[in-house]
Structure 1
Amino acid sequence: MALEGDQVKANVILPILNKCVAKEHQRQRSLSDHLWIYVYKVYPNGTQRVLFIASCTDGYLGKYPIFVFSPIPYAYLDDNKYVPAIRLLATRMVENIDPSRVYSIFGPEVVTRKLAAMWTRRTRIPEVPEPYYHAKISYLRPQDLVDTNVAIHPNDRIRIRPAHAGDIPQIAQLCWMFAQEGPPFTLSERRALREAQILHDNGEVWVYTVRQSGQPEESARVASIVAFTRNTNVMATITKVYTHPDFRGQRRAEQLVREVCRYLFSTGKTSIALFVGIENKAANVYHRVGFLGLGRHDPVMDGIDPWIEIGFDRNCVELGHW
């Protein structure tokens, strides 16, 4: 299967597909409200090759963007020979998805720009002036993990661990603050609390806590969180990293990300994926942990590609959340 063959790039589709199939088998929900569109080539000998996959799915906080995946190496995606396949993908989207549902498209940049333009021509719904998200995909393997000692303030007593139920209010605050910095996908305090509860219940969030020497354990503050919510048996995706402004510039997130990665590898994961904004200084944090292709002088690498989320006129669509 194309998705399983490149799980890092497929991290926006495969884990969600697996969850949906598992829930349908358990009769918890039907797949009728989800859609996956495959565009593939059939060769004369009858073999098939997947070119593009688009998903229209939802999560616990709202509907996801249209996610796009291709197993084709990024360097080849700009070839005009793939334009008919992207055009066919746009046609099938128009035939099967309500235009108001498509509030954004997220995928490899060269494909997403073409697909979004085709979608606008067919639906007359214009793109928003600026992309919602312009990022680079990166990944880490066990052999890439960089083990570095980070100095800790002598009066600090820190813990890096899976979140406890008692952490939920502070995690919710950080989830709310994270969303406020990424419009238009903001959260109310109530929905942020729901997100924190789900992250805890699913065992998908770790915390970095700090308290002053001599102070009781209950005085500890959650300085930083790391969530990993799109996972398969062999691949994990770090989907949220946030440090409270009071603790920034102290390499707290770096320590937490490193320990989370070490934990994920101990559970059998062979790769960890993440997206980081093109202009986001957090790339330096991930580079120090060992994520590939994020250093200033790192060579161009296959699989470390630009991705973009292009949104559409919010007067014409219903905004979701991811």
Structure 2
Amino acid sequence: MAEQLLSMRCRHPSHDHLPPITLRRPSDDMVVSGAGAAGRIVVVGVGGATCSGKTTLAKHLLHILNPSSDSGSDGAASSGSNRAHGILDAFILHQDDFAPPEATLPVNEQFGVTDWDHPPTAIDYERMRSTIEHIKTTGSFPPGFSSHDHLNAQPDCPISEQVSTTWRDKFGSLSTNHGVRIMLVDGFLLYYDAAVRSTMDVKIFLRTPRAVLKQRRDERFGYATAEGTVWKDPEGYFDNIVWPAYELAHRGVFGRHDVENGKAVKPDPDAKPVAGGPVEGLCVLDVAPAQQADSAASTFSREMTQLVDETCAAIWTFLTASQP
């Protein structure tokens, strides 16, 4: 049972239950022409520690949010006209694509290893911020942008078809004046930089116990880099580098600096936002392994199903509350 709880019942080599994701390049037609307008872009952040399920969650959301000709729960095909003034499309931006070249990263002197996780240097935050702003302004990725996420193996983590269909139907019924496009942004340091987090409209944070994260990280094959190589953790990397960096990046986000149990701190409206500081409007979703008692016959992850359900609810609340 313990192994089932820690692994979220997700089988790592397979991609069967997640739709194939192809990041569209600037050369593709990313500006949707609906009702004479491209539609405003709503940015949904999905943050959390390494191996917390961020990218898996984001890709389930992509499947639910994107318009499709698939039949709804009532058997009727989704109509393009129904979506014309609703959600026009959804796409993902991965924070990992903004990691600096490996050769420029610092070496941890105490342990003698390349440090991919030190919050101030792990991400090119300015390039990430400018990319998000470029997409929000133009509706397309900047020239020359590319992603290496497709090189990473994606866990096979199916969710309840009932929950997926219910939300697809609900988002399909959404009506707005000019339509909206959903940009999902996932990352392990997503809310560290004040300028980057200020671009987010909906801020989701997956908080998972350290022991669960460590086991998932140990089971992971490695991480694809922009140079086309695969980074594999040296022995002790999680305990010596990953977890201390996670605590450093998020200690200011939670009360008593308790990243595992503290409540999210509300920012002081009169204080200047700082790196690693409190995050306005942060929605913390706590993963509780003790509640993940799926039976051996279960065909989906209850944990991921719940994360999808709660995140969809947060997105729906924002979209319906922010309509002009």
Relative contact order: is structure 1 or structure 2 higher (C-alpha 8 Å, sep ≥ 6)?
2
- Return the TM-score normalized by structure 2: 0.26
Task: Identify, as 1 or 2, the structure richer in strand.
Answer: 1
Larger radius of gyration: 1
- Return the TM-score normalized by structure 1: 0.26
